[in-house]
């Protein structure tokens, strides 16, 4: 492909400054098809079950060296796959898996993804919380926040807030709030040239000079949001040192007290050595490893970090008109769906009402009342008045939050991976319930093997499809 002349000149300077990085094959790599990858959910899949999932996928997948749950895939793997719709895996460019692996979120932490759409890194961080702590995923573009919302819901992450905000506003409202912050910063996109022709045009129109001030402002906001002793992972998909090593070196100079956390050598990832502009920072090169161009650095702020336990604080009272809906939602779960394990796993907090929607929220919602929110907590479903009575309709987000062990044996329809009823269900068609031990009437969860997909209503051997129209495959 024809690369921008300015980019080629910049790269020649970079290779001259870093003779340890092989130049041979770099330009030719832009004429090759980029590798694709999938990352298995860390909350829905354990390492010991992934081999059987790989067998179902009929893929001879090889592991991505820098991601414990990532695999390279063949180009024809479809997003129509039922495991994708169950949130079992997330399609992700292999290099983009590095930052969330590096930040290594732990249960109980409060974490922020400052530039989260479409959501691959945010989902990984939310999965690593395992239901304890809080993920705040922000996207400044409202249109892009819609894709982020869908991916978060598919992943089944309960303790999450999705914001549509400017980073400065988050810093104003939540100073010193977060244990860890991931910044996958907007950049000139040089690493994306071979994957997206628009990246070349954008580079020629804007280039690094216009994007660097935006990156600086995001970093400044992150510093305000971060606790003492907290951590930032900053990443880009560009090779430009002004946006990468230079940007972070300038940030550390203007914000004393930060240090780079060095990571062990990983195959396919180059580490900047002592004496370089930013020792300990990392790069992935398209001609050296199976991934697009990527930069990543892990920073720690000085001071002692104290983990703040997120506890439920009732923020808004449920209106009298909604109490019956909330009661019906809990009755639906306790009587129709949940096993004994599920009942024990259901947090003992009242459902929160927003309009006709019910949400499971285990944190103080007032923290975000002056910020533009797209999603707060786990969306349980809706209630409405029908013929002088209140009716509750569960959301598909609820089904995807549930694990197999949380669901009663007679309320779960487990379909084999190759069963044509799986695709028919995802298309919104009525399906049958032969050869299963389900109850004869009432609400059920439809799943592929042990992975829930959504709800249905069973009557005898017939299951009415409740899979949302907006989620159906064509």
As annotated, the active-site residues are 237
User: Phi/psi class of residue 451: alpha, beta or left (left: φ > 0; alpha: ψ in -120 to 50)?
Assistant: beta
Please give the Cα distance from 207 to 161 (Å, whole number).
Answer: 32
Strands ordered across the beta sheet of 70-73: 62-63, 70-73, 36-40, 89-91
| Cα-Cα-Cα-Cα dihedral sign, residues 322, 324, 328, 331 | positive
Asked, as a colleague might, if the bond just before 118 is cis with ω within 30 of 0, I would say yes
Given a contact cutoff of 8 angstroms between Cβ atoms, the answer to whether 55 and 419 are in contact is: no
Size of the chain, expressed as the number of residues it contains: 474
* Cα separation values, 317 from 11, 323, 348, 350, Å: 59, 10, 16, 9
**Number of neighbouring beta carbons within 10 Å of residue 9:** 10
Six-digit token string for 261: 């956390």
Six-digit token string for 39: 């990352």
**Residue position matching structure tokens 């019906």:** 328
**Residue position matching structure tokens 């379909």:** 415
Please give the Cα distance from 148 to 346 (Å, whole number).
Answer: 25
């Amino acid at each position: 492909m024809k690369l921008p002349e300015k980019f080629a000149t910049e790269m020649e300077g970079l290779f001259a400054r870093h003779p340890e990085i092989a130049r041979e094959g770099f330009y030719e790599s832009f004429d090759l098809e980029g590798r694709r990858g999938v990352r298995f959910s860390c909350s829905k899949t354990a390492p010991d079950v992934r081999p059987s999932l790989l067998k179902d996928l009929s893929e001879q997948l090889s592991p991505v060296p820098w991601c414990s749950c990532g695999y390279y895939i063949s180009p024809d793997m479809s997003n129509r796959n039922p495991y994708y719709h169950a949130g079992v895996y997330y399609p992700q460019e292999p290099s983009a898996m590095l930052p969330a692996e590096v930040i290594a979120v732990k249960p109980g932490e409060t974490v922020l993804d400052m530039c989260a759409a479409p959501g691959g890194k945010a989902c990984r961080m939310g999965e690593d919380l395992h239901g304890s702590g809080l993920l705040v995923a922000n996207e400044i573009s409202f249109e892009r926040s819609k894709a982020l919302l869908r991916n978060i819901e598919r992943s089944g992450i309960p303790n999450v807030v999705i914001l549509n905000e400017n980073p400065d506003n988050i810093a104003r409202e939540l100073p010193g709030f977060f244990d860890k912050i991931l910044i996958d910063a907007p950049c000139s996109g040089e690493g994306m040239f071979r994957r997206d022709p628009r990246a070349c045009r954008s580079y020629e129109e804007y280039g690094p000079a216009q994007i660097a001030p935006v990156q600086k402002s995001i970093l400044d906001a992150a510093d305000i949001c971060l606790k003492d002793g907290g951590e930032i992972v900053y990443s880009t998909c560009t090779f430009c040192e002004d946006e990468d090593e230079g940007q972070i070196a300038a940030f550390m100079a203007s914000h004393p007290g930060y240090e780079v956390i060095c990571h062990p050598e990983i195959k396919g990832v180059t580490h900047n050595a002592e004496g370089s502009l930013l020792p300990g920072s990392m790069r992935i090169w398209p001609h050296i490893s199976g991934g697009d161009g990527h930069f990543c650095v892990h920073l720690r702020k000085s001071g002692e970090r104290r983990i703040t336990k997120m506890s439920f604080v009732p923020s808004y009272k449920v209106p009298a008109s909604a109490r019956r809906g909330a009661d019906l939602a809990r009755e639906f779960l306790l009587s129709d769906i949940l096993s004994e394990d599920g009942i024990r796993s259901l947090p003992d907090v009242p459902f929160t009402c927003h309009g006709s929607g019910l949400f499971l929220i285990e944190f103080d919602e007032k923290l975000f009342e002056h910020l533009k929110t797209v999603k707060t907590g786990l969306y349980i479903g809706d209630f409405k008045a029908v013929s002088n009575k209140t009716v509750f309709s569960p959301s598909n987000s609820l089904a995807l939050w549930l694990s197999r062990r949380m669901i009663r044996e007679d309320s779960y329809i487990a379909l084999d991976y190759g069963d044509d009823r799986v695709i028919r269900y995802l298309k919104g068609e009525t399906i049958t319930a032969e050869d299963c031990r389900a109850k004869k009437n009432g609400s059920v969860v439809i799943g592929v093997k042990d992975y829930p997909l959504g709800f249905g209503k069973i009557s005898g051997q017939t299951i009415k499809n409740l899979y949302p129209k907006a989620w159906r495959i064509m």
